Amino acid sequence: MDHNMKLYDKPFQLIKNGSKTIEVRLNDKKRQEVQAGDFIVFENIEKNQSIKVEVLKVIQYISFQALLKAYSNKEIGMDEKMQLSQKLAQIYQIYSQTDELNYGALALKIRVVSK
């Protein structure tokens, strides 16, 4: 199954060059449909670009904090010097803590199949 998701330019480029291998998302109804073996077409919302990735693994977490503790900053596409509190603050600019409590977090292990 193919899914479509949007990304800002920085994480998009990190996926494209192969350094970001974990996509962090809210485990909402739309993302609950994503399974290993599926494909995601990421659309760069700042530039007219898209990239297709294969989902290798889907891992559910109770919270973004638990998810972030499980992966290196490089894997999730964040600056190597960022502390956990800074990473959470960045995620909470996109997702609300209420949604996190209701749905939990999702780590999608991905690899690029076409640029």
pTM for this prediction: 0.94
Cβ distance 112 to 16 under 8 Å? Answer: yes
Q: What is the mean pLDDT of each run of 10 residues along the chain (115 residues)?
A: 95 96 97 98 96 98 98 96 96 96 98 86
Q: Domain spanning 2-114 has what CATH number?
A: 2.30.130.30
- SS3 assignment, position 104: coil
What's the pLDDT score for residue 114? 77
Q: What pLDDT, on the 0 to 100 scale, is given for residue 54?
A: 98
Delimit the domains of the chain by residue range.
2-114
Residue 115: the pLDDT is 64
CB 108, CB 40: distance < 8 Å: yes
How far apart (Å, rounded) are the C-alpha atoms in residues 90 and 12? 16
